[in-house]
Structures are given as structure tokens and as C-alpha cells.
Amino acid sequence: MAKEPNYTEAYQELQNIVAEIEGGKISVDELSDKVKRAAILIKICRNKLTSTEEDVNRILNELDSGEAQA
């Protein structure tokens, strides 16, 4: 089983799929598979962005708590 791409890899692949679709470089037969793959990649990117936002907010809250005690 292939490993899940990281955010950068997923975003780059997504950009490639969009370019292929916009450029008319894929057949109608491939379109369904490309759209399904794009949906998976969007989910990977969204999850990573959400996770990163939560991490940043947690760190900022910890910093604010630390400053309040100082």
C-alpha cells in the first residue's frame, strides 16, 4: 500500500490534475478517476491545514497562558 502524500505532494498532484482537466489533456474515460483522486487530495490538504491551525492555536494559547503567569 502506498503511503499517503504529505501536504506539498498532495497539493502539487492536485495542481497537476487541475491543469490536465483545464488543458483538455485527459479523456472522458479518465475524468472520473481524476475527479475521485482530486477529492482525496483535497481531503488530505484540508485535514493537514485544519491540524496545523489547531496546533498553532494550541501553541499560541500556551504562550498566552505562560505570559499571564510571568
User: For 5-55, how does the pLDDT look when each residue is reduced to its tens digit (9 = 90+)?
Assistant: 999 999 999 999 999 999 998 898 899 999 999 999 999 999 999 999 999
The rounded radius of gyration (Å) of the Cα atoms in the chain is: 18
- pLDDT for the residue 14: 97
How many other C-beta atoms lie within 10 A of the C-beta of residue 44? 19
67, 5, 70, 1: which is closest to 37 by C-alpha?
5
Domain map of the chain by residue range? 7-69
pLDDT reading at 67 higher than 70: no
User: Residue 41's pLDDT is what?
Assistant: 97
C-alpha to C-alpha distance for 35 and 21, rounded to whole angstroms: 9
Round to whole Å and give the CA distance between 41 and 64: 35
